[in-house]
Amino acid sequence: MITTDRYLEPGIECAPRKELLADQEAQLLELVPYAYERAPLYRRVWDDAGVTPVDVRSIDDFIERVPLITKDMIREFRDRYSDRYSDPYGGLLCVDPKEITTIGSSSGTTGDPTFFPERWTESPPLPVGYMRALWEIGLRPGDSAITSSSTFRGYLHDMYSRLGVMPLMVDSWIGAWSNLMDVFERHRPAYVQIFAPFLPELNALSERYNLKSLFSSLKGVSYAGEPVPARMAARIRDEWDVEIYMYTSAGDTGVAFECGAHDGYHLWEDTVLAEHLALDGGAAAERTGVGELVCTSLDDLVAPLIRYRSDDLVRYTDDTCACGRTHARIWPVGRKGDETVIQGHSILPTEVWQIVEHLPETESGLFQIVRPERELPELRVRVGYDPAATTDLPGLDARLTSEISGRLGVPTTVELVPERELRERASVNKLPRITKS
């Protein structure tokens, strides 16, 4: 049953797709000439492809004619066509730099961060983009929520305040969760974000605290960056009785969150035109298959991403969700370029993950594929182990090596390191699963 109090903006979140598409087309037809006139990267790329704004009269025209861009193209434009300071935005900027209010940036895991300039008066756009999801999780006026310790995309506390939710501004990063236990007990927060590097700490705290009781005020936690290890997800959901809402980046144009149906991550199609393209580029992917998410930001007039290849591999549907929302959903399955080829066998991090997290000493699922090159004669995996749960290091090494090589069918070398050491290699919220050394 669909109830309207479930939605912050029911008229938009459950709009008929015909209306959504008409709205997208109207926004797109304004965006294309706007960007062509102002953003040097688009002018160059579209000119090279022989495309002008008058050629784009519909979404179909747009998809057929407008070229794709990549993060590397933005970086290349920034580096080649810019004197120092002249265009740090890689040819995307459509406004006078003096009009920029705040600058967030990408995580920087694949190179120097790229910039996300924002212009605003009332509230920065990123936290506003979270608000429908927070409402769906159940946050309501009078609740409190623990804010994120990370600020590289700007401060996020405003998204709570505007929903009438009190921000609890306390250190919630790696190593700080024992202090948070008192905050949970005294202030009964309804929401907190958790990330993979926190999980071993939560496991350790569960030995000393009754987390089910402490976490009973939570209406949900959100989790981003990578999949929750299966054993950990079961512990959070079943032992601690906490509902996990996964979320991910909507191709750098915003966020895509799970709803209570937990059947895909909702894109907000009044803000983004999402395409699901075959991995060889160009054509639409098979409807139920894996494709690359390509995004066009419809409500960013500062530095819009237009037909931006996210490198995110997703499954996709535009079928109406059980929650009643009509916006498209995605299921992330990995990143382009994550594939490692061992003697002709393709290996993805998710396959290693399932094996690593299966052993009690390594159940946190902390590992890296060490890959100086994409194709190698042997799979090398660096795995974090819990020293408190490990009495026989050589034995663990032998079991892991046997499990991985046996199940994946490739020769394997395992390098064991304490979890803590591996966690320290995590960046903003995730451990790079592929590393050159």
Partner 1 sequence: MTTGSTLLAASELPRASDWGLTWYPAAGSLCEYPVSWEDHERDCEWGTAMMRQAGVHDGTVVCLVSSGQHAAWTVPFAEGVRRLGGTVAFCDAWVWDANRLRTFLDRLPVHTVVGLNAIIAKALDETVGLAAALSGVAHVLPRQDALGLIDGAGDLAVGCFEMIGPAPAIRLPGDAGLRYDTAEWSLTDGRGTLAITTRGPRAHQVADVDLGIEGRVGDDGLVRFGS
Residues that bind partner 1 (CB under 8 A): 8-9, 12, 78, 84-85, 88, 97-98, 100-105, 108, 112-113, 115, 117, 120, 122-123, 125, 128-129, 131-132, 141, 144, 147-157, 160-173, 179, 187, 268, 270-271, 299, 427-428
Question: For residues 364 and 429, which CB has a smaller minimum distance to partner 1 in the complex?
Answer: 429
How many angstroms separate the CA atoms of 45 and 73, rounded? 10
Question: For residues 38 and 119, which CB has a smaller minimum distance to partner 1 in the complex?
Answer: 119
Do residues 181 and 240 lie in contact, with contact meaning Cβ atoms separated by under 8 Å? no
Shortest gap between Cβ of 344 and partner 1 (angstroms)?
Answer: 35
Do residues 188 and 217 lie in contact, with contact meaning Cβ atoms separated by under 8 Å? yes
Shortest gap between Cβ of 297 and partner 1 (angstroms)?
Answer: 10
Question: For residues 155 and 209, which CB has a smaller minimum distance to partner 1 in the complex?
Answer: 155
How many angstroms separate the CA atoms of 404 and 412, rounded? 7
Do residues 250 and 329 lie in contact, with contact meaning Cβ atoms separated by under 8 Å? no
Do residues 240 and 218 lie in contact, with contact meaning Cβ atoms separated by under 8 Å? no
Do residues 381 and 402 lie in contact, with contact meaning Cβ atoms separated by under 8 Å? no
Shortest gap between Cβ of 182 and partner 1 (angstroms)?
Answer: 8
How many angstroms separate the CA atoms of 169 and 109, rounded? 27
What does the CA dihedral 295, 40, 82, 300 come to, rounded to 10 degrees?
Answer: -40
Shortest gap between Cβ of 95 and partner 1 (angstroms)?
Answer: 11
Question: For residues 163 and 389, which CB has a smaller minimum distance to partner 1 in the complex?
Answer: 163
State in Å, rounded, how far the first CA of the chain is from the last one.
Answer: 52
HSE of 152, CA atoms in CB hemisphere, 13 A: 10
How many angstroms separate the CA atoms of 363 and 349, rounded? 15
Question: For residues 112 and 351, which CB has a smaller minimum distance to partner 1 in the complex?
Answer: 112
Shortest gap between Cβ of 10 and partner 1 (angstroms)?
Answer: 9
How many angstroms separate the CA atoms of 431 and 226, rounded? 9
Question: For residues 269 and 292, which CB has a smaller minimum distance to partner 1 in the complex?
Answer: 269
* Tokens (6 digits) for 117: 């300039």
Question: For residues 72 and 171, which CB has a smaller minimum distance to partner 1 in the complex?
Answer: 171
